[in-house]
């Protein structure tokens, strides 16, 4: 169980913090809510106390004998401020200590995450940009806000990401505090990243298809982590029924041929390409224009042909020697071949720079929030590493950046 301080500031997006609080509590964490006085104008003290099961204070004078302005920060495993207004970012950047939340920020030695929410003009103002840069330089994680509907008729960058996205960031930081340092350092800033996700579908007729169980969760985690660390991300998604992570350019595709074409285009501008999608290896030689009907007791014979090997094609078409290509291998070891044997063989066959290897089947990997991976390059093997897919995504980016820096 981790101890979390959830800071809430005075913005209309404070209502989303209620959902985030419930998610954190549901995951078994001990959460103390520290709102600002302005936050209580949007969500009252009684609501926070009822949801958290704890007293809620805004000033250092409340329960002064417990010295909350010092102890809360000292004892926390994570301080997460959502929403973080422009005012709060300014006060945090300048070291103000004029309420309980800013005092906690000054005493915290744990990872600190800010999730800003404000009108577009405020987010883009040079003063706010400077404050964000200052906070990141000091090691804080600042999540770039989403784009979308704001208060009133306004729309644009400044929208607080959805609670599920915030929860994913909190989970990753708690599991691996080093990911917070990398996010603060923006170590992927300036890089263009192309990520594929999901499972392709090869249609037999208008209603039936050959597919697989890939959920797209790993690709989503990779895109989310890359954006958090400063990359520009294009996500090519094969049949994934989830909203894209904030600040990610999403391109939906259906078949392996669609995926191959989309990734070929995306790879031309990418510094790093990650093939996390699960493309079908075979497709019907012909597709019926009408639904195939049952015919007596006879079965159905299918004539299948091989699809494009998307990863091998990306390797063959690579023109930038500095570009790093990452592949995924979902394998099932047998009596004659270990998981590592299969992974090494696939790495050699595909020619990519890094292979993310995992064992599938028996309820593993597909559709699960957790996984276990082994990272294989030409010269090294890292793992196995187990954890949430959001945590594993950061490990994948770490190794990928190491490979890129060695070129």
Just list the catalytic residues. Answer: 212
CA 351 to chain centre: 27
Write the Ramachandran bin of 363: left for phi over 0, alpha for psi from -120 to 50, otherwise beta: left
| Listed residue (110, 192, 184, 160) closest to 394, CA to CA | 184
Angle at 245 between CA 313 and CA 28, to 5 degrees: 120
Residues 99, 35: Cα–Cα separation, whole Å: 9
| Three-state secondary structure of the chain | CCEEEEEECCCCCHHHHHHHHHHHHHCCCEEEEEECCCHHHCCCHHHHHHHHCCCCCCCCCCCHHHCHHHHHHHHCCEEEEEEECHHHHHHHHCCCCCCHHHHHHHHCCCCEEEEECCCHHHHHCHHHHHHHHHHHHCCCEECCCEEEECCCCCEEEEECCCHHHHHHHHHHHHHCCHHHHHHHHCCCCCCEEEEEEEECCEECCCCCEECCCCCCHHHHHHHHHHHHCCCEEEEEEECCCCCCCCCEEEEEECCHHHHHHHHHHHHHCCCEEEECCECCCEEECCCCCCCCCCCCCCCCCCCEEECCCHHHHHHHHCCCCCCEEEEEEEECCECCECHHHHHHHHHHHHCCCEEEEEECECCECCCCCEEEEEEEECCCEEEEEEEEHHHHHHHHHHHHHHHHHCC
Rounded alpha-carbon distances, angstroms, from residue 306 to 21, 202, 257, 283, 364: 48, 11, 11, 6, 26
| Listed residue (194, 396, 153, 361) closest to 277, CA to CA | 194
């Amino acid at each position: 169980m981790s101890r979390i301080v959830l800071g809430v500031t005075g913005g209309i997006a404070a209502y989303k913090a209620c959902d985030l609080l419930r998610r954190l509590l549901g995951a078994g964490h001990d959460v103390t809510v520290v709102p600002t006085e302005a936050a209580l104008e949007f969500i009252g003290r009684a609501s926070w106390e009822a949801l958290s099961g704890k007293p809620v204070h805004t000033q250092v004078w409340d329960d002064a004998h417990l010295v909350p302005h010092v102890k809360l920060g000292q004892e926390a495993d994570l301080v997460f401020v959502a929403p973080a207004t422009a005012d709060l970012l300014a006060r945090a950047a300048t070291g103000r200590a004029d309420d309980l939340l800013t005092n906690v920020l000054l005493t915290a030695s744990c990872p600190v995450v800010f999730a800003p929410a404000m009108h577009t003009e405020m987010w883009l103002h040079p003063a706010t940009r400077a404050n964000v840069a200052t906070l990141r330089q000091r090691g804080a994680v600042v999540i770039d806000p989403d784009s979308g509907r704001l208060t009133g008729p306004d729309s644009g960058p400044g929208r607080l990401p959805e609670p599920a996205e915030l929860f994913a960031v909190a989970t990753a930081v708690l599991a691996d505090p080093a990911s917070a340092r990398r996010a603060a350092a923006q170590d992927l800033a300036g890089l263009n990243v192309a990520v594929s996700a999901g499972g392709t579908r090869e249609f037999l007729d208008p209603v039936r298809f050959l597919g697989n169980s890939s959920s797209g969760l790993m690709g989503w985690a990779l895109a989310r982590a890359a954006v958090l660390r400063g990359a520009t991300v294009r996500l090519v998604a094969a049949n994934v029924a989830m909203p894209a992570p904030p600040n990610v350019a999403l391109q939906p595709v259906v078949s392996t041929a669609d995926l191959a074409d989309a990734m070929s285009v995306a790879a031309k501008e990418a510094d790093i390409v990650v093939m996390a999608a699960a493309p079908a290896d075979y497709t019907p030689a012909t597709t019926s224009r009408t639904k195939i009907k049952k015919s007596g007791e006879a079965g159905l014979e299918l004539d299948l042909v091989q699809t494009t090997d998307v990863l091998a094609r990306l390797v063959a078409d690579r023109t930038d020697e500095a570009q790093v290509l990452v592949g995924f291998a979902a394998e099932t070891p047998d009596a004659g071949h270990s998981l590592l044997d299969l992974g090494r063989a696939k790495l050699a066959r595909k020619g990519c720079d890094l292979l993310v290897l995992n064992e599938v089947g028996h309820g593993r990997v597909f559709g699960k929030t957790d996984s276990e991976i082994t990272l294989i390059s030409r010269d090294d093997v890292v793992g196995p590493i187990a954890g949430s897919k959001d945590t594993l995504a950061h490990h994948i980016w770490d190794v990928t950046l190491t490979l890129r820096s060695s070129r």
